Amino acid sequence: MSEEKIQAAALDLEDILLAEREYLVAGLAREAAALSNEKLAALDAFESAFGNGTPIAVCLQTRQLVRDVIQLSEENGALLNAVRNGVRSLISRFEGPTTDAFVGSYRQGGGQIAFSHATGQYMKRA
């Protein structure tokens, strides 16, 4: 468990997280998901660099690097949640399109005719 191993593992993980962030910001969720195995391997290497968990003294630069990796992973998590919410919204729009869809025709009182109640027998307005 040396400081050099911690730095190397943190830098590798940071590179992967930066690539993931670029994909997420660009809307390329599939490419971001493709980094999963590589990210997990880098995370394992990062955790193993700390050894058995006993505290170790590291320089300020290494501590800041670890903080940056943590912040980057939190930001990526928020971006991934945004993508997930967007996909959920899209799915819900596809699941029930007839509930909010109207045919563009109106009843005698002025209310719109829902698409699900349209019969195809419309009177032409003169």
- For residue 99, what are the contacts with CB-CB under 8 A and spacing of at least 6? 116
Check residue 31 and give its pLDDT.
94
Indicate the SS3 state at residue 51: coil
Position 27 scores a pLDDT of 87
Place of tokens 């969720």: 29
Q: How far apart are CA 113 and CA 89, in angstroms?
A: 25
- The token duo for 16 is 């992967």
Taking the CA atoms of residue 47, residue 52, residue 54 and residue 60 in that order, the dihedral angle to the nearest 10 degrees is -30
Domains and their CATH numbers in the chain: 3-99 (1.20.58)
Q: Walk along the chain (126 residues) in steps of 10 and give the mean pLDDT of each run.
A: 85 95 92 94 88 78 92 94 87 66 63 60 58
